[in-house]
Each structure stands twice: as C-alpha cells, then as structure tokens.
Amino acid sequence: MSTSRHPEAFHSIYTHGFFRVAAATSLVWPGQPHLNANEIVTLSRQASEQQVGLLVFPELGLSGYSIDDLFHQDALLGAVETALLSILDASKEVAPILVVGAPLRIEQRLFNCAIVIYRGAFFGIVPKTYLPTYREFYERRHFCSAEHAVPATMRLAGTEVPFGRDLIFEVPACPGFAMHVEICEDLWVPVPPSSRAALAGATVLANLSASNAAIGKADYRRLLCASQSGRCVAGYLYAGAGYGESTTDLCWDGHLTIHENGELLAEGARFATGSHWISADLDLARLCQERLRLTSFHDCARLEQQPVRRCAIPFTPAKNPWTLKRTIPRYPYVPADAEECRARCREVFEIQVQGLMRRLEGTGIRKAVLGISGGIDSTQALLVTAIAFDRLGYPRQDILAYTLPSLATSKRTRSIAWRLMQYLETGANEIDITQAASDMLVNINHPAGQGDAVYDTTFENVQAGLRAAYLFRLANLHQGLVVGTGNLSELALGYTTYGVGDHMSHYNVNASVPKTLMKHLVRWAVDEKIFATPVLFVLDAILAAPPTPELVPAQRGKAQSAEAEIGPYELHDFFLYHLSRFGFAPSKIAFLAQQAWAVPNQDAGGDQVQQEPTYDLAAIKHWLEVFLRRFIATSQFKRSAMPNGPKIGSGGSLSPRSDWRAPSDISAAAWIDEMQNIP
C-alpha cells in the first residue's frame, strides 16, 4: 500500500476522525509463553513509535495454537498467566491498545480468549464463540465456547475484568471508535458475532486468528474480511498466526489484512519467517457518515441487535503531526489501476448507452438531436448516441448532429466537429448563429451590439441560449429527442447556462459523469477501437485540447479557459466527491486534499509526475471556498430543474429525484465558517 505524503500537514492523525490501527504476526515459540510475551512487547514498542492506537495479535499467541493436548497442562497455563502479567506491566510504557490471544481458565473451564490491555490495565476478555471441530480442527477437545461463559467478569491480576462475547470497547477521546473482538472461526459462520456487534455500534472489528495455510484459503479469508467490513460498514482487522507454529500436520502463513467498508487498506506478506506487522488509518468519521445514510442498517439493528456491555478505554491520542498511512486518491471518480479504469469506463459507457436506448424505445422516438461543439462532453454524448442507434438498428443518419458556430467559435473546433460528424456517418449539419447572436445583442441594447468588446455573462448566454433554442425547435421539427451534453462537475458548480444544452435537454447521458472521468471515457473508446480509424484520429485531437466554452473571442491568440474562471476541475471533483458522498466538513476535505495534492504523485509514471500539478494548502482553501459558494448557495436551482439521465456510480449523482435534494435558497455560511478550522 502506498502512503500519502505531504510537507505541511495540519493536526495529528487522530484529527478528522482517523484512528491508526495495526495487525501483527509475532514469531511463536509453542509452549513457551515468556518468549512469546517478549515478542509481543517488542512489536508493541515498535508500533508505539509509529503512533499506532490499536494493535491486534493472533489467536492463542501467548501459548501457540498448535500445542494440542498441552492446553490442559497446569504448568503451561500458569506460565501463560505469568507471561500475560509481563505484557500488562510493559503496556504502561507503550501507546497502543493491545489485543492478545491466550488460553484462560475460569470456573474449571478453559476458554480461547482475546484480552484487551491498555496502559497497565485489563479492560476486557472475549472468549471464542464458535469452536471448529472438523477436518484438522479439534478445538472442542480443549476449549469451551463463549456460550458457556456464565460469569460476567473474570478475576485476573487481582481485579474483576469484564468477560464475555458481548463486550464493545469504546474510546471517549476518539468519537466513533467502538471495537468488537472475535476469534478466527467466529468469522466463518453464517452470522458472525461481529455482525450483531456492528448493529450495536461497533465500528472496528478485530479478529485474532490461527487459520492454517492451504491452497486458495487466503483468497477466501480476504473475501470474508472484505465482505464483513462492507456488510457491517466497519473496519476489519485480521491477524493470523505465522512462523513458529508447529508444522506437524499444518503450515501457517501469518496472513494480515486491514479492510474498511469493503476496501483493502493494507495486507502483509504471507509466509514471512519472522515477526511483522501492518498498519493503516481507519476513517471512523467516514464509517459513521455512511451508517448515517443507510436507514436499512438501523432497521436491521432494530430487528437483530442484542444487548451489549460497553467498556470505556481512557486512550490518549497522539497530538503531533504525522504522515497519514492511507492512500487518498487524487481522482476519486477514476480508478488508479489501469485495468480497473478500463473496466470502469466500459461499464459507464454501457450504462449511458442502455439508458438512452431505453428512453428512445420508451418514447417511440427514432431520431436524436445533438449540438456538437468539438469539445469532449458533446463528443462523448455523440459516441454514446451512435452506439445506442447501432444496437437499436436505427440508421446513424437519423442522429441529427449540428455544429452551431457563433461569435467565439474557433476554426479548430469547428473543423473537429465537422470531421467527427462525418466520420461517424451521422447527420452532419451546420447553422451559423453569428448573425442571430449579433442581432440579439443589438436588440437588447448590449454594448457588444454597439461594437464594444464587452464579454460578460449576457454576451456568453446569448450564444448559448440561441443554440438551445435551435436544438429544441429542430427536435420539434424532426420529431427527435435532444440529447444533453452537460456533465456532473458543471452541474455541481453551476457552470451551465440555465435552460440550454449543457443544462437542459430531453435526456442527458452525461448527467452523472464528472469531468475528470470524461477524458478517460473517450480515451477508452480510442483504446478499444470501437469506432473506425478516422474517428479515432479525431478523438485524439479532442483529447489533446484544454476545456473551453468558446463563448468569448480568443484574447491575444489564447482561447477562453473554463478552469481559469472557476478553478481546476480535478480539485472540484475531489471536493464534490467528499462533500456529496460523505458529508465531510470543509476542514476535513481540505486535510484530505492536502494529503493527495501537496506533492507530486509518486505513484504515477515519470511523465505523469511532471504533468500533474500540485496544490498547497492556500490554493486548496481558495478553491474550496469557491466550490462551496457555488455548490451550496448559488446553483441548486439549476439542479432542481435538470432533466433525466442515468446514474453511473456509487459516487452519486446530483439528480433531485435520486441522490441530491436541497433547497435552492440556502446559505453556505455554515460551511464557510467551518473553514476557520483550517490553519
């Protein structure tokens, strides 16, 4: 896993709802608890230096898992209890909450336990519930299940310690941290104990395991941990036993994973021959936000939740700044992995095509009308429409594509628009609206109509409005459907002209596609060669051009720049994702943006490192405020009137009928005020 880098982080890793967790595999000496305790203490000190807040060790790590009938030897069990006290004493000097595995006796029963320790105190003991007794496992020969854990406490080191599978460990100093512990097989059953614990509020689920190695088993473990973290909307730490366990009949791979809500954050190397550990920063605030939205999660809690006991741990979070051990994607809508990105583009394209096909079939309309600017948004809409017509068996000539040059249209984009229409073999048409726009400027007494170089919003919207008027009237004339071209990013920023093509249409196939994904979609069409070679050459030319609305004449040979007016789309898409998807406060969004954008992207290839910009905290704050004012306060009325269009991803859409409902007359003051928390 790569780690985010930044030169000037503000606050500590425990700010903004993060919590650093770790899973460890300690080298095991079967039947030698004092050596195992020493190894656990050594790893705890290492983790402490890295500001880890929670460190989880494997199942029965103090005794070793593979000692069979030696579990019933008094000498060994006594040595385990003595070794446990040595860990307790050493914990006074280390930072993390420790969860260690050991066999413990209570009321003439032996339990396979996880013991929670912090700063010289025991905070809870959790016995294993489900004891495998099949194939290579014989745990019922040695242990009792948690269902037999009748006493609510266990006396250990002279104190009464909470005992049972119903314990949830909370950290008052870190809102959102609530940990539940289960042991190995507990995860393998149809209803793991952690499921009900999550319904009771647990956000961090820890599993102490001694699952042996076998072909394909690691993949299954990974699947289990990922699905459990996703279904429970939680973090899931898995710590497996490794080198040193007896290999009489089995082998151990020391598998370590950390998942969050279905996503793998960290994974350790299997079959290491020594102690090792992995760590990651869980975003507890994100988990809590996610649960806030999932009403079915709380419905399930009402039906399935069981009583729990809550144990408060007086954990003190570190305060000094530290590198966040978590990858923060610069482009949350675009997968970083090339193959995954191709798969994403393929799926988005299919959603767009099928959405348009169904709309055409449902309305009985067999013609489409599009305005083609030579830019990337209208290009993607035309590509989608062409494939939709092919699959429906409609002739591409019934795609009535128009270029509508006006006062600021360049020869380059006009030429590209023509070539695109011709090579795609759609209807190719041109209506020059230059004179009509000039006449309107004269009629409304605009200075530009008198020859003055006044290029304001009115000047721009006269052209945009005329284009929309022509397209809709052409649709009336030909009984066609106007296909929209506006994208998600423009709708978020209100960078659309009300009632025109980038805002209004009969159906907008691009409505949920962010600007940062748009280029990848067109690039995918090129790479997959789904169109004839001449089309691909035109698409390459379109991809090479910067985004421009071309509503203002070029100044000194330089075309109008959208990003010069509203800011970088890559930042705005980053802001949009974290605000609309998770509801994060501006200060947290700025913190995340700083992690992602403050230094060159070291995970990219050499050329990309040079091409991608960086943004310091001052720039992030500036553009974040621009985004908040535009998104919250000034552009909702446009989104409230947006036409139908397919939702393409879990990142959400801004449709008032599905993902985003908000009043049009709200103030952004609360969000702007919260930005004061950014240094």
Active site residues: 59, 128, 184
Nearest Cα to Cα of residue 17 among 353, 287, 344: 287
Q: Which residue has the tokens 């530290």?
A: 322
Asked if 168 contacts 180 with a C-beta cutoff of 8 angstroms, the reply is: yes
Helix (H) or strand (E) holding 525: helix 515-528
Nearest Cα to Cα of residue 194 among 184, 180, 208: 180
Paired residues of 235 in beta bridges:
204, 260
Q: How far apart are CA 8 and CA 210, in angstroms?
A: 41
Pairing relationship of beta strands 507-508 and 481-484 according to DSSP bridges: parallel
Tokens of 220: 């299954």
Tokens of 583: 């509801």
Q: How far apart are CA 372 and CA 353, in angstroms?
A: 18
What string of DSSP letters covers 578-636?
HHHHH---HHHHHHHHHHHHSS--TTS-HHHHHHS----HHHHHHHHHHHHIIIIIISH
Nearest Cα to Cα of residue 68 among 127, 134, 137, 122: 137
**Alpha-carbon torsion angle 468, 563, 579, 489, nearest 10:** 30
Asked if 417 contacts 374 with a C-beta cutoff of 8 angstroms, the reply is: yes
CA dist list (Å): 123 to 12, 127, 162, 309, 442: 26, 14, 7, 12, 80
Asked if 407 contacts 434 with a C-beta cutoff of 8 angstroms, the reply is: yes
Pairing relationship of beta strands 276-283 and 399-403 according to DSSP bridges: unpaired
Strand ordering across the sheet containing 368-371: 427-430, 399-403, 368-371, 481-484, 507-508
Helix (H) or strand (E) holding 339: helix 338-363
Paired residues of 312 in beta bridges:
170
Tokens of 154: 């266990």
State the CB neighbour count (10 A cutoff) for residue 605: 9
* CA gyration radius, the chain: 30
DSSP state of 332: T
Strand spans (E) along 8-144:
18-25, 54-56, 97-106, 109-118, 121-127
Nearest Cα to Cα of residue 352 among 577, 573, 517: 517
Q: How far apart are CA 419 and CA 538, in angstroms?
A: 7
Q: How far apart are CA 671 and CA 632, in angstroms?
A: 9
3-state secondary structure of 555: strand
Nearest Cα to Cα of residue 172 among 350, 14, 399: 14
Phi, psi of 315 (to 5 degrees): -65, 135
